Amino acid sequence: IPPEYDLNTPIPVSTATGLRSSLPNYGDIHFSLFLRKVFIKSLGYTDESLSKPIIGIIDTFSSFNPCHANVPQLIEACKRGILSSGGLPMVFPTVSIHESFSSPTSMYLRNLMSMDTEEMVMAQPIDAVVMIGGCDKTVPAQLMGGISANKPFLPLITGPMMPGSVKGVRVGACTDCRNNWAKYRAGELDIEDIMGINEELAPTGGTCGVMGTASTMSCLCAGLGLVELRAGATSAAVSSARLRVAEMTGKAMVDALKVDAMKPQELLSRENFLNAITVLQATGGSTNAVVHLLAIINRHPKVKGTIDLKTFDEIGKNTPLLVDLKPSGDNYMTDFHNAGGMLALMHRLRPLLHLNARTYTGQTLGELLDATPFKDFPYSRQVVRPLNDPLHPQSSLVVLYGNMCPDGAVMKASASKDKKLLKHRGRACVFQNTADMAERIDSAELDVTKESILVLKGIGPVGNPGMPEAGMIPIPMKLGREGVTDMLRISDGRMSGTAGGTIILHISPESADPDSVFGVVEDGDFITCDIDERRLSLDVDEQEITRRISKRKEEAESRKHRKAARYARENAWTDRVSLRGYRGLYERNVNQAHQGCDFDFLTADGPGIHRE
Ligand code: FES
Ligand code: MG
C-alpha cells in the first residue's frame, strides 16, 4: 500500500516518492503526504508515475528573453530524455532575466534569481533538477542557487544565436553592435547603414554569438564537468543538435541519480573550479565571468577561501588564449562549434587541466576525455588553436593591484586594441558618474588627448546598483573623429563580455566606499598602468591622498549626503536601512566585486543554516 495509508510505519524519506524535500507541515506526516497526492492527482498523475524519480525542469522562458526563445522546445526534448530513462519530469518557472530589458541592470537581479532558484529547488518535491538558462546572468544565478540548494542538478544551456550578414559581411551580437555603433558615432556609417545592421545583429533566438558572458558561462559549465563536451556548450540555439543536448541532459540527470555524490557540493571540488578558470583564460572569456565565478565559488563551503582573484591571474600566466572568437579574435560561436567546440578545447588543454576532477557522467575528466576522443582537422586548428600556436601567449585576463585598487581590478588584455596602452602613464580625465560622462564626453571643451586616461567613478556594486556595464567608456567624439579607436579606461563598473579595448574594470573597493582611493582621483592626476608588473597606481603622494579622503568624508557628512550618512567599511555606507524591498536588501548586503557581488548572507560562511 502507498506509504501515506500505512499509519504504523514512519514515512521514509526516499527518492522513490519524491520526498527529499520536507513535506509541508500539517503536523500529521501521513496526512501531509495524503494531501500532497490529492493535489498532484488533480493533474491526472497515477501512483505509478509518482513512484519514479522526480526531475524538475526550470523554465526560464519569457517574452522579454529572446536568448531563451527555444526554451519550450528544450523542455519537450528534455522531458523525452527523462521519461525514456524512467523519471518523471515536472516543469516549474523561475525568474527570467535578459540583459537588455532589466533595469537598472541584469546584475542587480542576479542574486534575486539565485535566491528564487535555491528556494524553489528546495521547496518542491523533486529529486534532481535540470536548469534551463543561457542569457548572461542566468547561468551564474542558477549555479549559485544550485550549489547552495545542494540537490543534484545539471545546467541545460539555451545555446548561441546564428550570425547575421550585412552586404556579405557577417555580424553578430554584440561585439559588432558596439563596433558599428562606434563607427556611426565617428561618422563612418550613415543612418541607413546602421539601421540595416540593426536588423541583422541578432538574426535568430539564442544567446549572443561571440565570446560574451553567456558563451563564456556555457564553456565554463563544460570546464566544470557539468555539460556534455561535444555540443552542450556550443551548439546553436536553433539547431537540432541543441534539442539532442536537451534530450541527453534529461536522460543524464536520471542516470546521475544512480551515481553517489551527485550533490553539487560533493561533485564539484577545487579542481573543477581551477579547470573552469583555465577554460576562462583559454577562451578569452568575459570579465564578468570573473565576478560570477567568485560568487559561485564563495557559495561552496569546501572551496570558498581556496580560490580568490589572484588564482585567476596565476592560472592565466600558464594558459594561452586558444579560441579565436570575437571580441579577442575574429569568429563566432557557430564557428567554434564547427571546429569541435569544447571537446576540441579540452583535449588541447589536457596538459593544463586537473584530470582527476569529477564530471556529471560519474567519470573523472581524464576518463571522460579518454572515452570521447577528438579527431583533429585543419579548420579546427584555425579556430581552436593548438597549445604551441596560440592567439595570445598567456594571461588574456589579468588582475591588477595598487594603491587605487588594493583589493584588485581586472582587465581583458587580449581584447586591447592598442597594445602600447598596456604599459602607459597618462593624465586622468575624470567623470564622477554616468550622468556626468553622458553630459561631457562629447563636448568640444573636454580637456582630453589620446594619451589621457578616462576615469569613470560611481558605477560599483553599491554606487550604481548592479554595477552597470558602462566600463567601456566611449572614445570622446572629437578624438573618435581624428581616428582614435582605443584609450586606457578605468572604472569600478563592468563591461559587456562582447566589448573590447584597453579597459580596467571592477576596481575594488569601489568609489562609493568613503575610504576608496579611486574615489578621490582628480582631473590631471597621473596614473600608471603596467601590465607586466600587474600594477595600477595613482601617482599622487600619500599625504595628499589622505587629505583628499578626509575632506571628502567631511563634505559628505556636512551635506548629510544620504549615501554617506553612516558608513563602516564592511557594513553600511549608505542610509541603506531606509530603502524598502529588494533594493534595500541589495544595498544593505551586496559585497564587493572581488568577492563576487553576492549578498553576504548567502555566501558559504555567511550567517544562517547551510544545506548539506
Ligand atoms: Fe542574452 Fe547577450 S543578451 S546573451
Ligand atoms: Mg552581456
Residue nearest to atom 2 of ligand 1 (CA): 208
Cβ distance 34 to 107 under 8 Å? no
| Minimum-distance ligand 1 atom for the alpha carbon of 214 | 4
* 99 Cα to the center of ligand 2, angstroms: 6
Start-to-end Cα distance in the chain = 32
| Minimum-distance ligand 1 atom for the alpha carbon of 498 | 2
pLDDT digits (tens, 9 = 90+) for 193-221: 999 999 999 999 999 999 999 999 999 99
DSSP per-residue letters across 124-152: S--SEEEEEE-STTHHHHHHHHHHHHTS-
Segment 521-540 mean pLDDT: 98
CA distance 402 to 376: 44
The yes-or-no verdict on residue 16 having pLDDT over 80 is no
State the pTM of this model: 0.94
Ligand nearest to the CA of 67: 1
Please tell me the predicted confidence (pLDDT) of residue 178.
87
* 174 Cα to the center of ligand 2, angstroms: 8
Please tell me the predicted confidence (pLDDT) of residue 36.
85
ipTM of the complex: 0.94
DSSP per-residue letters across 381-449: HHHB--TTS-SBSS-SEEEEBSTT-TT-EEEEGGG-S-GGGGEEEEEEEEESSHHHHHHHTT-TT----
> b/e map of 247-281 (b: 16 or more CB within 10 Å)?
bbbbbbbbbbbeeeebbbbebbbbbbbbbbbbbbb
Run of H or E residues at 312: helix 309-317
Ligand nearest to the CA of 205: 1
- What are residue 435's phi and psi, to 5 degrees? -65, -45
* 496 Cα to the center of ligand 2, angstroms: 5
pLDDT digits (tens, 9 = 90+) for 293-348: 999 999 999 999 999 999 999 999 999 999 999 988 999 999 999 999 999 999 99
Q: pLDDT-derived band of residue 25, with 50, 70 and 90 as boundaries?
A: low
| pLDDT mean across residues, the chain | 92
pLDDT digits (tens, 9 = 90+) for 267-302: 999 999 999 999 999 999 999 999 999 999 999 999
Query: Position 271: which residue type?
Result: E
Helix (H, G, I), strand (E, B), or coil: what is residue 498? coil
* 117 Cα to the center of ligand 2, angstroms: 21
> b/e map of 392-415 (b: 16 or more CB within 10 Å)?
bebbbbbbbbbebbbbbbbbbbbb
Residue with grid cell 566544470, as numbered in its chain: 224
Ligand nearest to the CA of 100: 1
The yes-or-no verdict on residue 555 having pLDDT over 90 is no
| Minimum-distance ligand 1 atom for the alpha carbon of 65 | 1
| Minimum-distance ligand 1 atom for the alpha carbon of 98 | 1
Q: pLDDT-derived band of residue 33, with 50, 70 and 90 as boundaries?
A: confident
Segment 232-246 mean pLDDT: 98
CA distance 156 to 233: 9
Please tell me the predicted confidence (pLDDT) of residue 569.
39
The proportion of the chain whose per-residue pLDDT surpasses 70, expressed as a percent, equals 94
CA distance 119 to 283: 33
Q: pLDDT-derived band of residue 245, with 50, 70 and 90 as boundaries?
A: very high
Q: What is the β-pairing status of strands 423-431 and 526-530?
A: antiparallel
pLDDT digits (tens, 9 = 90+) for 380-402: 999 999 999 999 999 999 999 99
Residues at CB less than 6 angstroms from ligand 1: 67, 98-100, 135-136, 174, 207-208, 212, 214
Residue nearest to atom 1 of ligand 1 (CA): 135
Segment 4-20 mean pLDDT: 65
| Minimum-distance ligand 1 atom for the alpha carbon of 67 | 1
